[in-house]
Amino acid sequence: MKWSFAAGSNLLTGFGAKIERESKLKLNDFAKELRSFRSVDLSGRNFGDEGLIFLSESLGYNQTAEEVSFAANGITGTGIKALDGVLQANIMLKTLNLSGNPIGDEGIKCLCDILANNNGIQKLQLNSTDLGDEGAKAIAEMLKNNSSLRALELNNNMIDYSGFTSLAGALVENNTIRNIHLNGNYGGALGANALAKGLEGNKSLRELHLHGNSIGDEGVAALMSGLSLHKGKLTLLDIGNNSFSAKGAFHVGGYVKKTKSLLWLNVYMNDIGDEGAENIADALKQNRTITTIDLGGNNIHAKGVTAIAEALKVNSVITFLELGYNPMGPDGVKALSEVLKFHGNIETLKLGWCQIGAKGAEFIADMLKYNTTIRVLDLRANGLRNEGASCLARSLKVVNEALSSLDLGFNEIRVCIDFVFSVRFFHILAVFCTI
């Protein structure tokens, strides 16, 4: 439905009046939600600028709503102007989501002027808003003055080196921002370099999301250097899908050895290979903070997985390990399984698309007889077939009180009676593919 009730409509009078009445009734309902509920999701209603103008009054007198989503509503910079005088007065609103609206740089500039002295909003979501370098510059200036914002999401926009440089400068002056999401932009090596300098002087940042910025080996090296000098306590780092190799992984390993705060590390979908895996594995032998690590899709073979397995002999902190989309084969899963029989503290193990085959399933089945920590096991798309499933079924007849979720999707398994018995008996969730 198109929300239009402006004068001068060229619709037939009767039909146009009906649409106008329906639109106003809907908007009145939305306004009531804003006045009645703590969390209000008005995303995807397509009410556009006119709808936001209508709703802004309710937001201005808000005494209830703390989280509001206006995502994907066709709102442009014109609609954003209606928030002027509204957001400054609203002290209840803590989260504002404007993602998926074609706001553009001019609209972002207007929003930043409004938020410069806002003392309420703590989380601002501006993902996919046609935001470029000029918009990023406006956000950077806002951050220099705003002391309430804790989380900022700018994913999937068009921010380049210049915008990254502006944001980096703001990080030096802002000591309250905790989480920054810049996934899916165009930072590149130069942007990462600029951001690294900003991180050196920042004390507040806890989460940095840089997935999909093509920062490469040079960018990773600069970023790790900046993070090593970072005066705060970063707990989450996402550098997945950034086109770096073993050279970049070397610098990641160096940072992992030094950090005393990082809990979550994502290196997914790069190309670190066995050499890079060995570098990170060596670092994990010393690290005692990281609990979650994603090394999926990195072209790691048996040699690299063996190095990771060796690290798990002395590291009992990691509880979540993603190794999916790595061609480790039966030899790689054998090395991992041998260690996990009696070592480590892995609770979630993801090995989907790892080419382990029925032979690899035998090693996993043997490991499950002894392991007491794994709760979630993902073995999707490994060519296990009935032969591999039967091995697992026999293993699960041995009491395993930990395992609660087993995903065997896309393995060309035709349901095996023995396996169903095991699954039912131990209350394990299994996903079958009967193709």
pLDDT score for 89: 80
pLDDT score for 4: 45
Mean pLDDT of 397-425: 76
pLDDT score for 422: 57
> 432, 408 in Cβ contact below 8 A?
yes
Of 355, 327, 341, which is closest to residue 411 (Cα–Cα)?
355
pLDDT score for 428: 56
Q: Answer whether residue 16 shows pLDDT above 90.
A: no
> 159, 131 in Cβ contact below 8 A?
yes
Least confident of 17-31, 33-47, 172-186, 319-333: 17-31
Mean pLDDT of 178-193: 99
More confident residue, 132 or 2: 132
% of the chain with per-residue pLDDT over 70: 91
DSSP structure class, residue 415: P
Mean pLDDT of 143-170: 98
Q: Answer whether residue 71 shows pLDDT above 90.
A: yes
> 390, 363 in Cβ contact below 8 A?
no
Sole residue written with tokens 């004068």 = 7
Q: Answer whether residue 367 shows pLDDT above 50.
A: yes
Q: Answer whether residue 210 shows pLDDT above 60.
A: yes
pLDDT score for 52: 97
Phi and psi (nearest 5°) for 287? -70, 140
> 205, 177 in Cβ contact below 8 A?
yes
pLDDT score for 27: 93
More confident residue, 433 or 69: 69
pTM, two decimal places: 0.93
The fold adopted by the segment(s) 33-431 is: 3.80.10
Mean pLDDT of 44-56: 96
Residues 33-63: b if buried by 16+ CB within 10 A, e if exposed: bbeeeeebebbebebbbbbbbbbbebbbebe
% of the chain with per-residue pLDDT over 90: 83
Q: Answer whether residue 165 shows pLDDT above 60.
A: yes
Place 22 in a pLDDT band, splitting at 50, 70 and 90.
Answer: confident
pLDDT score for 9: 41
pLDDT score for 17: 54
Place 15 in a pLDDT band, splitting at 50, 70 and 90.
Answer: very low
